[in-house]
Amino acid sequence: MNKVNLKRIDKKGQKEMENALKEREEQLHYQARLLDNVSDAVISTDMSFRIKSWNRAAAQLYGWSVEEAKEKKMNEVVQTFYPKTTREEVLKEFHENGEWKGEVIQKNKAGDNINVLSSVAALRDSTGTLIGAVAVNRDISQRKQAEEALKESELRHRILAESSHDLIWEIDTEGNFIYLNSEAKNIYGYEPEEMIGKNFAEFMAPDSLVPTMHEFQRALQFGEGSIHFESQVIHKEGKVVLLDSHTFVSRDKAGNICSIMGTAQDITERKRTEAELLKLTQRFQISTKAAKVGIWDWDIKKDTLIWDDVMFTLYGLQKEQFRENQKSWLEHIHLDDLENLLQKVELALQGVKEFDTEFRIVWPDGTVRFIKALATVKYDQDGKATRMVGTNWDFTKEKEAEQQKIKAYQLELKNKELEQFAYMASHDLQEPLRTVRGFVGLLERRFQNKLDVEAKELLNYVSQAADRMDKLIKGLLQYSRIGSNKMLTALDCNVLLSKILDDLNAQISESDASFEIAPLPVINGYKTELRALFQNLISNAVKFRKPAQRPIIQISAQKRDTYWEFCVSDNGIGIAPSFQEQIFVIFQRLHPIDVYEGTGLGLAHCQKIVELHGGKIWVKSQPGQGSSFYFTIPE
């Protein structure tokens, strides 16, 4: 066309024409240069696709500099593929309409593929003659990748949603279902397609409608994150299904709602079983509130173990420390009880024996607690166990009391034996002792004038030793009888103390001891024994005073958890730590008889009395710095 036109005009005209064309071309390329600051690649070519201009963005996108690209043919620099059409189609459209727009894949200098959105327009001169093309190309690789990723993640979510055993739904802000997974069929009895587009309220049970709408409104107004509630819906067949739902509302930065989605679980069966369980536990005469009964629900097929809030308290766990499966529960069972417990679970699942057992659990801080557990097992039509729902409650207190009782009983047995032995021994020993003392008396009387001083002194030693043996035997007898006639009474320790101080009057005034006695409680105890306990401790505190120092004795009581802790302390000679245990052993003394007299039975008595009450006794002391004797008496 161009040449034909040129032939028709004269030489002068031809020259003018050429100049005009050149000017026009230059103008166009000048404009293209102006486009250097544009972020899209702008490329202009002549009719034979020779590159005439190549802006900075083009250099960046394709990796060819302006100098490298210019005057080269387009396909020498950038190879272009048309994923959705053909080159011929594109050229055809370009010639017909003077433009083409679409997605292309191009190779850059490094040979990488880039996704490009290309807009090509025809360049014409003033006569309308086609002289080239200009392309505006935008890199859409990132957008493409993001789109791909989104598609992939949508697909993944959809697969997840479809394989979930929970109902998963999405509604619009009007409450119409946009999406439901296949679980809808199980819960509502309808195919998801039958429900999509319908309002969720149509499927609500009348009783549940108002509270659920309220929750829905709440979610719309303030909701961000998850809202949890229970509701009732009506199944296609008319039955009521109880749902445990979580709703998630997500919003954009401006606070507009992007989506309202949720999950729901059918808890009809669980609720029914819980009610059955409550009855069951009541049968075991447990006041559920007082005993803090935890409820658990184990879906055996899915191995999901759901705990109510009480269960977490019972196991001393935070919610995030429990992974909601059987393994996570077993991790907290005392190792010695694990095998037996697993056996019990197995027998229950096989339907051989009802699950009714006891085991120990270990808290994260190492505390051991005793748990009683009951459960019922649900089976499918084939007789396979599908669910196990049960209760746990902590009976550590009862167990400890029981263990205490057993210990007390064993102690009593031991004491009885000892008592019998001590009784026999002291009884049998008293007889020869009496004989020894009788003969010593006889010797003294009959041979008074015949014995010399040394013989008399020796006889005196024998007599003293016999007296001491008598004391020891009587003490032993007393020890063996502690608790044999015990009578539990309410005792005001203040009254008890003042009587004891009266009794010890002589010893107290001789030593000039002073007492600081704090207000003491009324306790349940054995009167005679407690009296002996205080008496022994006080008289030791007076006896083991420092020479030439006035004894100061303090007596006090502190209320601890479930017991009273008494303290009798003095400013006496003190006891070295290495002896502090042995002093409670029968006949153990730390001093020769002529320095501090005694039988070594007092603290053994004290220990026996305290243990008789279910308490403990110990001492804190340093030599020369006084001693503090502590003992506990349960409330």
In the complex, which residues of this chain contact ligand ADP (CB under 6 A)? 536, 540-541, 544, 570, 572-575, 583, 588-591, 598-604, 627
CB of 590 to ligand ADP, least distance (A): 3
DSSP E strands, 494-550: 514-517, 522-526
Nearest CB to ligand ADP, comparing residues 525 and 626:
626
3-state DSSP assignment of residue 520: coil
Nearest CB to ligand ADP, comparing residues 45 and 627:
627
CB of 451 to ligand ADP, least distance (A): 33
Encoded tokens for 280? 């069951």
Nearest CB to ligand ADP, comparing residues 247 and 571:
571
Nearest CB to ligand ADP, comparing residues 90 and 513:
513
CB of 545 to ligand ADP, least distance (A): 8
> Would you say 42 and 123 are in contact if contact means Cβ atoms under 8 Å apart?
no
CB of 371 to ligand ADP, least distance (A): 42
Cα 440 to Cα 453: distance, rounded to the nearest angstrom? 15
CB of 586 to ligand ADP, least distance (A): 8
What are the beta bridge partners of residue 294? Answer: 392
Dump the DSSP string for 537-594: HHHHHHHTPPTTS--EEEEEEEE-SSEEEEEEE-SSS---GGGTTGGGSTT--SS-TT
Nearest CB to ligand ADP, comparing residues 375 and 473:
473
H-run or E-run covering 80: strand 79-81
Q: Edge-to-edge strand order for the sheet containing 552-559?
A: 514-517, 552-559, 563-569, 627-634, 617-621
Nearest CB to ligand ADP, comparing residues 223 and 483:
483
Dump the DSSP string for 594-624: TTS---S-HHHHHHHHHHHTT--EEEEE-TT
Nearest CB to ligand ADP, comparing residues 273 and 599:
599
CB of 525 to ligand ADP, least distance (A): 20
CB of 542 to ligand ADP, least distance (A): 8
CB of 320 to ligand ADP, least distance (A): 53
Nearest CB to ligand ADP, comparing residues 102 and 598:
598
Nearest CB to ligand ADP, comparing residues 493 and 583:
583
Dihedral over alpha carbons 335, 341, 346, 351 (to 10 degrees): 180
> Would you say 322 and 408 are in contact if contact means Cβ atoms under 8 Å apart?
no
> Would you say 542 and 508 are in contact if contact means Cβ atoms under 8 Å apart?
yes
Nearest CB to ligand ADP, comparing residues 492 and 581:
581
CB of 577 to ligand ADP, least distance (A): 12
**Beta strand 240-251 pairing with 355-362:** unpaired
Nearest CB to ligand ADP, comparing residues 118 and 599:
599
Cα 70 to Cα 59: distance, rounded to the nearest angstrom? 11
- Residue 586: burial class (beta carbons within 10 Å; 0-12, 13-18, 19+): middle
Nearest CB to ligand ADP, comparing residues 189 and 600:
600
Closest CA to 601 of 481, 492, 433: 481
Cα 483 to Cα 532: distance, rounded to the nearest angstrom? 11
Nearest CB to ligand ADP, comparing residues 316 and 598:
598
- ∠ Cα 47 50 52 (to 5°): 100
> Would you say 266 and 186 are in contact if contact means Cβ atoms under 8 Å apart?
yes
CB of 517 to ligand ADP, least distance (A): 16
CB of 602 to ligand ADP, least distance (A): 3
Cα separation values, 620 from 21, 293, 523, 535, 549, Å = 114, 42, 24, 19, 20
H-run or E-run covering 139: strand 130-139
CB of 572 to ligand ADP, least distance (A): 5
Neighbours of 147 (CB within 10 A): 12
CB of 519 to ligand ADP, least distance (A): 23
The three-state DSSP-derived secondary structure of 430-493 is: HHHHHHHHHHHHHHHHHCCCCCCHHHHHHHHHHHHHHHHHHHHHHHHHHHHHCCCCCCEEEEEH
CB of 496 to ligand ADP, least distance (A): 19
Nearest CB to ligand ADP, comparing residues 483 and 572:
572
